[in-house]
Structure formats: C-alpha cells, structure tokens
Chain A
Amino acid sequence: MKRKSVKRVAAVLLAAGTLFLTSCGTADEENLNLIASKEEEERIVNLFSPMEKTDPDVENVARSATDLTVMMAEERLGIKVAYRTYTAEDYQDSTYDDVALDRARNNMDDIYLLNPDVIMQLAKEGELKDLSGLDSAKNLREVVKTANVVDGKLVAIPQEVVAYGLFINKDMFDKYQLELPETPEEFLECCRVFQENGIETPVGANRWWLETFVLAQAYADLYNGGNTEAEIAELNSGKRKYSDYMRPGFEFLQELIDKGYVDAKKAYVSEAIDGEGPDFLAQKTPIVMAYWGAANTETSYGAPDFNMLVIGFPSSRGQMPVMPMTGFAVGANAEHEEDAMKMLDIVVSDEALQVYTETNKVISPSKNVKVDCIPALKPLNDRIEEGVFVLGSNANMKVEQWGNTCLIVRELLNGATVDECMEMFDKLQEESLKG
C-alpha cells in the first residue's frame, strides 16, 4: 500500500519533470537562413565634444545628462550619434579649441560643442550653419541669443547657460572669521589672512579660468550700468579701448601673483580642475574658480567633505557671475547636415532641456525651463536671477573676448607685464578696426 503510493508520486514527478524539460526546449523554426535579418543601414550623426574623463566607480553625471537628450533624439529620429572626443594630454598638446577648429574647417564631424571664442572664429569663417530656423531657437533667453548671434546668424545653442564663479570653502572662511569678499580689496584681504595662517597659496588656478577675474572687473559696469549697447558700439568703433577695461583686472591678477596668492607657474601648466581640484577638495586651498556644473558633478566638486559655496567674482559692483556662452553648432558642410539639424533641434528642445536641467541642476538657456539649484549654488544663482552678471563672450564685440583674454592672461602667467598685455589688447582692437 505504502509502496504503491510512493510509486505513484514518483511517476507524477517524473511526468512533471519531463514536461518541464520539454517545455524548456525551443521549437524548430522553418528558417533556412540562420542569420538574423540585418538592420537597415544606420544613419549616423557625428558629435564632437571634449572628452569627459571617467573615474573608476563614479558615474559621469554631466555626460549622462547630455546622453539622455541624445538618446531622446536617436529614438525620435532613428539615427545613431557617434561621439568623437578630444582632450589635451597636457599644456603642450593641441588644445580642444585648436582641434575643434581644425575638425570644423575640415568637415570632420556634423555637430560640435564649442567654446565662445571658437564659435566666433568659425562663424566669421562661415563654417557654421544658421540655427535660427530651428523650432527650439524660439525658446531661447535673450542673453543667449545676444552671445551667439554673429552677423545676424544664430550659430550656436547651448544646453546650459554656463556661469563661472568662485568656489569657496566656507568652513575655512568661518574658521578665520572671514566675510565672503565682494570687492577686489576684500578678496585680497581674505587672501592675506589665509596666507598669514599658513595657507601659502589661497587661490587654486589653472591656465584656463583665471580670465574670469579679469572679465568680471572689466565689464561689471559695462553690463550692469544701463549703457551696454552704446559702450560696445564705442569699443567697436575704437572710441574706447578694451585695454582700459581690462587693466584693473590684470593689475589685480598681477598683485595676486606678486603676493603669492596664486602660483603662476603651476597655473600656467595646469589643466582645468586637474591642477587645482585635489588641493581644494583636500581643504588645502580655500578658493578655486569653476563653472556652475562642477558643483553638481561628483568627478569635479559635487561631493566635498566641507561646506562649499559658489559666489560671484569680486568687482566694483559686488560679487559678479561671469557667463560665457558655449554651445552646439552644426558644421556648414556637415556630411549628415539634415540629421544633424534635426538632432540639434531635439536636444535643445524644451523637453530635452527640462531633462538636462533637472539632471544637472543648471541654468537652462530656454526661458521656459526652470529648476531649483543646489544650496551651494544659491549665492551665484541669486545674482543671476537679479540680472547681475557679466557675459564672458559677446558676438557684438568685434574683438573676441573669451579666447583672447584667456590667451593674454596666460601670457601674464608666463611673465609678461600688465602693460605688455594691454598692448596685446590694443593690437587686437586695431586689427578688428581694420577688418
């Protein structure tokens, strides 16, 4: 009786097992060609952008945000976006801007992410397409248009309004009971106190971004004095000299260098963030300068062990954000021009910018997209919201500002005097007047 029931159970189990195993097998399909049908030929759009360095085990948020919008475009258009990148290995290497210029001139790619000076340069050479016909261009803030319209053509559209500011270790300022500096004088005083307390180089710098100090002091009045257009017209006509605007900022930088607040030699050979970032994060340096997005990115300054604040640069009008306009541009002779235009229209659409802005917590170029910023960025954001800022680049100025100022500051770092630097500006202005 007992054995019978055991046998019965065993039989049921065997049957169930057989059934299970049979069901695991796949039925033969009537298909003579075993290769899966090949997809249609891919439509490619080549995107050239700086290479964001990746760190082990850290997600690259900045890149992820762009990726999200690119994927949106790929999905909508059925295209494949190929990333082409370049980053200089060191200061002796060709810069990203140099390579971007070469690639654009040789039509190597379809879409380029460009710095303001390169945008200006290529636009003048006629290498960039007019984007004003795109639907997404209608949503842009005025300030973005101002910066990117060259000869009546909208040549670039950014995904974020890049704002530069001073990244402050608030804990260290509190330790020495220092107020956050508003003016150049106050800034120098802070540096003095830090130095007296054993911090030999209070300001961490690289070869790219020291120009923000200069631009903030140079154009604080121009952009916030209510007479912007007239002043720019006078500069373009030669009635006013760029060097007159630039001199205080350069002298200020010279003083920083002379007093050892900035290590000029180190800055001259340092790449952005790579050079000064580690010391700032290790709380050896209380002040560095960087762009807005660095505060949101873990690979930059997104996760400091201290209370960090981002403020504007010192100027006669108080803390001053500096906003150069980077942007995506489409090559005039792009191989995949049509797809590139469509793709750009999507990645800078309100919908894509909403995703981008929320992911990166940045200022959107679209007047329709607004996202709360992280607490550290609040002081900088407050100034921008008040409408107080300096443009790092302006297409209306005949002398390109962002790239030229950067190069001339580099000369100062390399030992040129302030007067020599001012001469360089005068020379540039002269050339522009000739053109």
Chain B
Amino acid sequence: MTSGFNKTEKRKGYFWLLAIVVVFCVLGTVVFSVARKISQEMSASAIQNLSESLDLIECTIEAIFRNEADFQRLVAEEVAEAEDPQEYVRDYKRNQTMVKMSLVLSGETEGVSNMEDSFSEGELDFSSGKTVDGLPISQSYLNYMGTWAYTMKCPVEKEGRQIATLYVEYVYDFFDKSLPDGFYNQKASLYIMDAENERFVLKPKGMGQRSAGHLNLADFYRANDIQEEKLQKEVARCLESGENLLFYHDIRQANALNYMWAVNDGSIFLIGYVPVEAIQQEGRSVNQNIFIVVAVMLVAFLLCFLIYYFGQRQQEKIRKEREAERETHNKQLAEALQAAQIASNSKTMFLSNMSHDIRTPMNAVLGFTRLLAIDAENPVKVREYTKKIMASGQHLLSLINDVLDVSKIESGKVVLNFAQFTLSELVASVDAIIHPMAKAKNQKFHMEVTGVRHECLIGDETRLNQVLLNLLSNAVKYTQAGGNIWLRILGLKQRSSQYEHLRIEVEDDGFGMTPEFLETIFDAFTRAENSTTNKVQGTGLGMAITKSIVELMGGTIDVSSEVDKGSLFRVDLELRIPEDQTDKKFWEESAIARILVVDDDLEAAKNIQALMSELGIPTDTASSMEEGLRLLEKEAGENSEYHMVLLSWDVVKNQDAAAVNRLRGALPSETPVMLLAESGEEGLEETLQTENTHLLTKPFFVSAFKQKIVEIRSGSKKDVGIEMAEGSGLEGLRFLAAEDNEINAEILAEVLEIEGASCEIVENGKLAVERFEASGKDEFDAILMDVQMPVMNGYDATRAIRVLERADAKTIPIIAMTANAFVEDEKAALEAGMNAHVAKPLDVELLKKALSQHVNQKE
C-alpha cells in the first residue's frame, strides 16, 4: 500500500517536472521567435534605412554632377559667344567647383587651358563611355593639385556647328562638403570608388575609422579579408552592370553589412560597410528589454514553484516521519507479540518438560516409598530403596534450585556480591568438588594456571564458583569414563592496569555436541534436544544460568564442540585488582630472597618464575633434578644461596627416594623444600617425611604459597589439624533447634541422634530466644535456626540472642537451616549474626561440615 502511494507521488513529481519543462520550452520558443522576428524586422528595416541613406548620397552626388554639367554647358555657350574662345578660357579663374578649364578647337589635338600649360585630350581617358546628363566623363586621375579629379567634356557649338570642345576638371574633394558627416553614428565606412580603375578617390570625413585607409578595391578586399571568389565575381558583375549590391561579411571579426552603390549610372560607386551591431542597435535594445521581462517572469515563476515545491516537500517529510513512526510502532508491537508467543511456547514446552522431569523422580520417590512400606522387613531392599529415593530427591532438589535461579536471573533480581577473594581458594574449592566426581568416573582432572599476575581479586566468588562448577560438572557428566577434563585459567594481556583479564577454559574429550545443539545451548526455556529423550538427566538450565552470570559480570562465554571429540567452553572475564597487592615486607620477614624451581614442565616453571619476579624475588629454574643440584652447588660455591626450593612431584616420582635426599643434603637444613603436586598423588606421604619438606598443591598460586610459608614459619601443620577436626563428627554435642515444622523437627532430631548428638526443639524464634536465655552456661554447643517461623523469624531471633547480656550470647554458633536457599538468603543470615547457612532439605554432611568448623572454632 505504501509503495503504491509512493509510486503515485513519484508520478505526480514527474508530471510537475514535465509541466515546468514544457512551460519553459514554450516560453523559450516564444521569446526566441519574438526576438528573432524583431531582429529580422529590424534588420530588414536597417537594410531599408541604409539603402535610403545611400540613395540620398547618390542623389546628392548626381545632383552635383548635373549642376557641373549645367555649368559646363553655360560656359560652353559663353565660350561660343566669346570673340576669342581660347582667350576666354585662358583667362577663366578657377573656383571651388572646377579647378581647370581647357579648350581644344575642332580639328586640333592640342588646346589651351586656364593653367599655364597646354592641353590635349590624350591625357584623359574617356573610354568608359559614361556620361553626366549627356556630357562624357573621364576616368578619375590625380591632378596637378595632388588630389583625385575627373573631367567632363562639352561641345562648344556656334550656329549649330561644333567649333571646339570644352574640358572642365572637377575634384572629388568638392563632394565632401555636400555629404553628411557620417551615418550610423559614424560607425559606417564610406569611400567613393571610380568604377573604371577601381581606385578609391575620396574618403569623406567622418566616414569609418580614421586610421584605416584603402587604396583601391583590391586593397579593400585584402584589408577586410574579403577573399571569396564568388563574392568578388558578383562585385565585378555589379561594377560592370552598374547594379547595387548589399552583402554580409565579417570586417575585423565583426559581422558587417557591406555595400557597393552605383552612382551616375555606375561611373562611380559608393563602397563601404556598416557593422551589424550599429544597424541593429535599436533591435538589440528591444530584445534586451524583452529578455529582461522574460527573465523576471521566469524568476518569479521559478520562485513560486520553489515555494510550492518546498511546501509540498515539508508536508511530505512530516507525513513520511509519521508513517515511519507508525511503522516502527507496528514493528515493535509485532516483535513483542512474536517474542511473547515464543516465550509462551517456550514456557509451555518448558513446563511440559519440567512436568516430565519432576514427575519422573517424584514417581521414583513415591514408587520406592510404596515398595519400602511393603518390603520394610527386608533390610537389604530397604537400603536399596532408600538409596534410590535419596537419589531421586537429590535430583528433584537440583531441578528446583535451577528453576528458581533462572527465574531470579530473568526477573533481574540477581545482585552480585563483590568481595575480595583469591584464585587459589576458588580453584581449591572447585577442585575439592570436581576431583572426587571425576575420580568416581575414572576421569582425569587437570588444572593449569598460567600468566595470572594477580591472584587476589575482587568479584563474586560464589557466582564464579557456580560458573566453574556448572561447566566442570557438565564436563564430568558428558565425558565417558576414563576421559580427561581440563580446567585452565589463563592471564590475558591487561586492557587496564586496574583489571586482571582472565580466560577460564573448561575442556573435555567427551561426547561433544551437535552444531544444532550448540546454537541453543545458552538459551533458557529452550532445549534443542527434548529432555525426555536425553540419556543424562538435567534441567538444561545450567548453561543459561552460567551465561547469565558471566554476562552479569561483564564477561563473555563461548563454546566450541564436536561430536565424539569433546567440548571447549571459554569464559573471558575482567576482575578488579585490589589496591594493596604488593607486600614486599612479607618476603623480607620470611627471609626469602631467592628461589629455585625444579620442574620438568618448563611452562609451569616459567610461570612461577614470572609470578615471583613480579614480587621482586629472583627465581631460577631447573628442568631436572641433576640441573637443580648443579645450580645448588654452584650457588653454594659462590656463597649465595636459595631460600626455598620448589620441587615438582613429576620430577620426583620418576626418581628414587634418594634423589630428594640428595637435594635435601645439598641444602642447609633450614631451607624448606616445597613439593608441588596435584592433590591425591600417590607416594607423597613418604617423601613428605623428609626433613623440612612440605606439600604445595598444584597449580601454583602465590597466595597459597604465602599461606604455606606462614604455616611453615608458625611450625604447625594446619592441614593435618583440619583433617583431624573434620574427622571428629558431632558426637556428644548438644543443640538448640528452632523449627516450626514437625516433620522437619523430627528428621533433625533423628539425624542428630544417629550422629551421637542431642537436640532440643522449640517451635519458633521467640521460644528459642527465651530457651537460650534460660539455659545454663555451655548447655548448648550451637543453635540451629530455621528462618521462616511464626511469632518470630530466625533473623530476629538471632539478633535477639546476640544482644542478650550473656557471655556466650555473642559467641555461640548459630547455624541457619532454611529452605531459603539463595545466596541473598545466606547473606541475610550472616548479616543477622548467624555463623553459617545450611539449606534445606538437610544434607547431613554439609551440616556436619558447618558445625565442625564453628564448633571447633569455638573451642
């Protein structure tokens, strides 16, 4: 519809353009025709005008000729009457009109003249046969005065008989006085030419350019470049026949009207030219005025059109803008509708999947519970059923956690908790979870850390942990038994000195993924492969959560994978570096100024060297035990020494035990040797028995290294202590538990009893506060606190307990035990004054771990 409208508009535009062009063309043609007509009429009129002027001059000259002839006849009559005609002539005084008078008596060849010399007709040329009023006129000649002249002869008759011939000479200069002082504003040229000898005999004053002179017709042709043979022939013909001739020819690069005008039957010619410019002066002026009027009209027309055009354009623009706006709205609405439809579809699909996923373990729980009731007497089956019920319950729980997490992320309620953390701890905690999982599937889990400059960083450790666990647990899940899983943390080039640029890679050589699945792997609520057909159970939300968290942290995640070859997830993150990272003092206090690293993995050794160099600790590397020994000996010889030796377990395990001893022997006893080994390596214990030899878990972290040094300095082997504490359990402990749900209370009581502990249950927070207040000193080892309870919730109760005026009110461990399992809930619990947070459903191991930490701490 829009394009149809545009076409109509375009057509309209073309029509207007065409109309304007037509108007201009018509106007132009009319103006041109009018101008041309005027020009032609003016030209014709000018020719007419010129002809009339020339006619006038012709008549004037001819009148002079006739007067001269009349005069000559009168004189001839007088001569005839004179007693002595010769005497009469001799005495005749010359005047302005005639300059010489001669008389030749009939029958004689020589005669007399009024000048002193004699005269004969032979001096003159009357051959042309031209006459003036019947009197023969001679060809022009230069006379004794140095000017052009002509002579007319008249018979002197007496009594009807010719007795003599009277010759009278006239000069052309005489004409000058009777001719106009130029015409066409003195722009016209005029010469008088003798037709017979073609000499120019007079150039009247004011006629044409003063400085230009012409000798004869040939010179006139040459000087004015009139070389056309045809034209010259036509001129010759006119001269011959005594006809007038007008023709156009350029004179000095300007178009001119040339003329040859016969006078006295062609005995002499008026010859010259008038520039067309001079002729058409009036015409040009009229044309100029017409052009001005037309130009003004055109400008006005154009102006009107422009005003109209711009008005239309403005309106069109506004209309288009509105249309575009409407279109954008429509598009947005359509997109929103589409998105809503997709979301709706996805959610329908998701719900369908969820329904299936939830029903499956639920079905198992209910089914096995029914079987449990039937086979209650058979302990073997009971154990088997409870084990399966437990597994199904766990799966249900993880399903619910993921769904809740996704809905939270989607609704934008997730807030990152930035705090300082060390990479080593993060890696250690991940390792603690993944290592056993991998081991259970007989997989190898490798960890590499390279190029990381700062281990202590600021970020949300919990979420980061979640990301790593999601990726790694997936890797374990989707890798066949005996496969490999790698976790690499790479320090990339920093883009800002304030941020550490990290790349976390999780790679496996497992089942891999199809390209189609890769396309939607990070989408929530959509799964390429319907979970009902998936062999491995999962919510399919883990990756969506992971991506959301990474993006929330300002990072990126991408994946590459090939079926049956494995997958590689790559997370790029920038984490802020805390301001006080350098602690030279620590190294000075620890008296460590020089380190030797012995590792056959050169890259790992270089990494350690780089990290330590940044801290200002010179570090040497050796790739084998022998090289390490050589360096030690050399340094000892030069009276310098290493204050620490980092020895890779990979170097040691291929050697005999004596190797470590040899190394130990080469060192002063107070210099520690740190064995770098991955957790769970076999044969470590034996080597660790060597004097001043300690274990540092790979990968190498400066923070972990420092921690280890502190431990060595303090002389305690804390890891052993922790092991011992962890192993101690809950036996003999007494708890106060606030739990409003009877079933949960019962389960708790039962579990603790199984673990050898005792527990007193109260129904709400208020009662818990009162009970604790009434309790004796050390009556309870810890308080287990539900959060959502009637009367008083767990947070308020905790705060109330902490403000009690009892010595142990501030110190007694309070553990939150709640179905509010989010990070925010944990944070709220800690803020309320609780010591730890254990999510429901109750995981006895986690509870034990939390209790052991805080109860031991208390001790």
Residues on A close to B: CB < 8 A?
2, 5-6, 9-10, 13, 17, 20-21, 24, 44, 51-57, 60, 63-64, 67, 80, 82-83, 85-87, 89, 94, 98-103, 106, 108
A103:B146 contact, CB within 8 angstroms: yes
Partner of B213, one of A5, A54, A57, A82: A54
Contact with A along B144-183 (1 / 0, CB 8 A): 1111000000000000000000000000010000000000
Q: In the assembled complex, how far is the CB of residue A279 from the closest CB belonging to chain B, in whole angstroms?
A: 18
Rounded to whole angstroms, the CA-CA distance of A83 and B205 in the bound complex is 8
Find out whether the CB atom of A67 lies under 8 angstroms from the CB atom of B223: no
For residue B741, CB closer than 8 A to chain A, the reply is no
- Name B144's closest neighbour in chain A (CB-CB): A102
Q: Is the Cβ of B304 less than 8 Å from the Cβ of A56?
A: no
Provide the residues of chain B in CB contact with A54, threshold 8 Å: 211-214, 223
- Tell me which residues across on chain A come within 8 A of B304, comparing CB atoms: 6, 9-10, 13
4 other contacts beyond A53-B213, A53-B223, A86-B146, with CB at 8 A cut-off? A17-B300, A54-B223, A83-B210, A87-B215
B296 within 8 A of A: yes
Q: How far is the CA of A17 from the CA of B298 in the complex (A)?
A: 12
- How far apart sit A129 and B203, CA to CA, in the bound complex (Å)? 27
A-B contact pairs, 22 of them (CB 8 A): A9-B307, A10-B300, A17-B300, A24-B292, A44-B205, A51-B215, A52-B211, A53-B223, A54-B211, A55-B222, A57-B253, A60-B211, A63-B211, A83-B211, A85-B203, A89-B199, A89-B215, A94-B142, A99-B146, A102-B142, A102-B143, A108-B147
Chain B positions 198-240 with a Cβ under 8 Å from a chain A Cβ: 199, 203, 205, 210-216, 219, 222-225
**Closest Cβ of chain B: how far from A159's Cβ, in Å?**
15
The minimal Cβ–Cβ distance linking A99 to chain B, given in whole angstroms, is 4
- Shortest C-beta distance, B144 to chain A (Å), equals 6
What chain A residues lie within 8 Å of B203 (beta carbons)?
A: 85
Point out the residues of chain B lying under 8 angstroms from A83, CB to CB. Answer: 210-211, 213
B292 (CB) vs chain A CBs: closest residue: A24
Q: How far is the CA of A10 from the CA of B297 in the complex (A)?
A: 11
Name A80's closest neighbour in chain B (CB-CB).
Answer: B205
Q: Are B303 and A9 closer than 8 Å at their CB atoms?
A: yes
A52-B213, A94-B142, A108-B146 in contact; A57/B300 too (CB < 8 A)? no
Q: Does B308 contact A (CB under 8 A)?
A: yes
| A1 closest partner in B (C-beta) | B311
Residues of B within 8 A of A60 (CB): 211-212
| Shortest beta-carbon distance from A355 to chain B in Å | 16
Q: B607-637: contact bitstring with A at CB < 8 Å (1 yes, 0 no)?
A: 0000000000000000000000000000000
Within residues 119 to 163 of chain B, which ones have a CB less than 8 A from any CB in chain A? 142-147
Cα A52 to Cα B213 in complex, Å, equals 7
Whether A6 touches B211, Cβ cut-off 8 Å, given contacts A55-B223, A56-B252, A103-B145, is: no
* Residue in A56, A80, A102 whose CB lies within 8 Å of B146: A102
Name which of A9, A13, A56, A57 has the most chain B CB atoms within 10 A of its CB: A56
Residues of the B chain whose Cβ atoms lie less than 8 Å from the Cβ of A55: 222-223
Q: Does B241 contact A (CB under 8 A)?
A: no
Point out which of B213, B215, B223, B300 has the most chain A C-beta atoms below 10 A from its C-beta: B213
B429 at the interface (CB under 8 A from A): no
B289 within 8 A of A: yes
The distance in angstroms between the C-alpha atoms of A56 and B214, with both chains bound, is: 12
Minimal Cβ-Cβ distance residue in A for B213: A51
Q: Does B293 contact A (CB under 8 A)?
A: yes
Shortest beta-carbon distance from B312 to chain A in Å: 9
Main secondary structure of the interface of B (DSSP, over half): mixed
Option from B145, B210, B289, B293 in Cβ contact (under 8 Å) with A106: B145
A24-B289, A56-B252, A89-B199 as given contacts; A102 in contact with B145, CB under 8 Å: yes
Q: Is the CB of A13 within 8 A of B146?
A: no
Q: Mark B245-271, 1 if CB is under 8 A from A, else 0.
A: 000000011000000000000000000
A106 touches B223 (CB 8 A): no
Chain B 288-310 interface mask (CB, 8 Å, partner A; 1/0): 01001100110010011001100
Tell me the minimal C-beta distance from A68 to chain B in angstroms: 11
Distance of A82 from chain B, by nearest CB (Å):
5
Residues on A with beta carbons closer than 8 Å to the beta carbon of B214? 51, 54
Question: Are A108 and B215 in touch, CB under 8 angstroms?
Answer: no
Taken together as a complex, chains A and B put the C-alpha atoms of A103 and B211 apart, in Å, by 20
A57–B250 Cα distance when bound, in Å, is 11
Cα–Cα, bound, A374→B223 (Å): 27
- With A and B bound together, what is the CA distance between A159 and B499 in angstroms? 99
Whether B215 and A17, one on each chain, are in contact in the complex, defined by CB atoms closer than 8 angstroms, is: no
Nearest chain B CB to A63 CB, angstrom units:
5
Nearest to A49 among chain B residues (CB) is B213
User: Within the complex, which residue of B146, B173, B289 is in contact with A101, where a contact is CB–CB below 8 Å?
Assistant: B146
- B211 and A106 contact, CB distance less than 8 A: no
Chain B: minimal CB distance from A312 (Å): 32
CA distance A120 to B611 in the complex (A): 123
- How far is B213's CA from A53's CA once the two chains are assembled, in angstroms? 7
Does the CB pair A108–B142 fall under 8 Å? no
Residues in B with CB closer than 8 Å to A44 are 205
Give Cα distance in the complex from A223 to B211, angstroms: 37
Provide the bound-state CA to CA distance between A394 and B300, in Å: 78
In the bound complex, residues from chain A placing their C-beta under 8 Å from that of B145 are 102-103, 106, 108
The CA-CA distance from A89 to B140 in the complex, in Å, is 14
CA distance A6 to B297 in the complex (A): 16
CA A100 to CA B225, docked complex, whole Å: 30
Residues of chain B within 8 A of A5, CB atoms compared:
307, 311
Given contacts A89-B199, A89-B215, contact A100 B146 (CB under 8 A): yes
Q: In the complex, which residues of chain B have a beta carbon less than 8 angstroms from the beta carbon of A17?
A: 296-297, 300
Given contacts A13-B304, A89-B199, contact A67 B311 (CB under 8 A): no
Q: Name A85's closest neighbour in chain B (CB-CB).
A: B213
A60 CA / B142 CA spacing, docked (Å): 27
| A85 / chain B contacts, CB cutoff of 8 Å | 203, 213
> What's the minimum C-beta distance from A89 to chain B, rounded to whole angstroms?
6
Residue in A20, A80, A99 whose beta carbon sits within 8 Å of that of B142 in the complex: A99
| Nearest chain A CB to B232 CB, angstrom units | 15
Question: With A89-B216, A106-B144, A106-B146 as given contacts, are A67 and B253 in contact (CB-CB < 8 Å)?
Answer: no
Shortest 6 CB-CB distances between A and B: which pairs?
A102-B146, A103-B146, A56-B225, A51-B213, A106-B145, A99-B146
A63 to B212, CA, bound (A): 9
CB distance from A340 to the nearest CB of B (A): 16
A59 → B minimal CB distance (Å): 9
Smallest beta-carbon distance A66→chain B, Å: 8
Give CA–CA (A20, B295) in the complex, Å: 12
B149 to chain A: closest CB distance in Å? 11
Q: Which residues of B contact A53 (CB under 8 A)?
A: 213, 215, 219, 223
Which of chain A's residues have a CB closer than 8 A to the CB of B296?
A: 17, 20
Enumerate chain A residues within 8 angstroms of B222, measured Cβ to Cβ.
55-56
B491 vs chain A, min Cβ distance (A): 70
User: Which residue from chain B places its CB closest to the CB of A44 in the assembled complex?
Assistant: B205
CA distance A98 to B252 in the complex (A): 33
Contact at A13–B211, with CB atoms within 8 Å? no
Inter-chain contacts of B219 with A (CB < 8 A): 53
Across the interface, B147 reaches (CB within 8 A) one of A9, A13, A98, A103, namely A103
In the bound assembly, the distance between CA atoms of A264 and B142 in angstroms comes to 28
Please indicate the chain B residues that have their CB under 8 angstroms from the CB of A102 in the complex: 142-147
Contact of A67 among B211, B300, B308 (CB under 8 A): B211
Q: Which of A6, A21, A99 lies in contact with B308, CB distance below 8 A?
A: A6
Interfacial chain B residues near A56, Cβ < 8 Å: 222-225, 252
A236: min CB distance to chain B, Å: 31
Q: Give per-residue flags for B306-323: 1 if the beta carbon is below 8 A from chain A beta carbons, else 0.
A: 011001000000000000
Contact A6–B144 (Cβ < 8 Å):
no
Q: How far is the CA of A223 from the CA of B212 in the complex (A)?
A: 39
For A20, list chain B residues within 8 Å (CB). Answer: 296
Please, how many angstroms separate the alpha-carbon atoms of A21 and B215 in the complex?
51
Q: In the complex, A80→B210 CA distance in Å?
A: 11
Q: Which residue of A lies closest to B227 (CB)?
A: A56
Residues of B contacting A21 in the complex (Cβ-Cβ under 8 angstroms): 293
Complexed CA–CA distance, A86 and B199 (Å): 11
Q: How far apart are the CA atoms of A279 and B431 in the complex, in Å?
A: 115
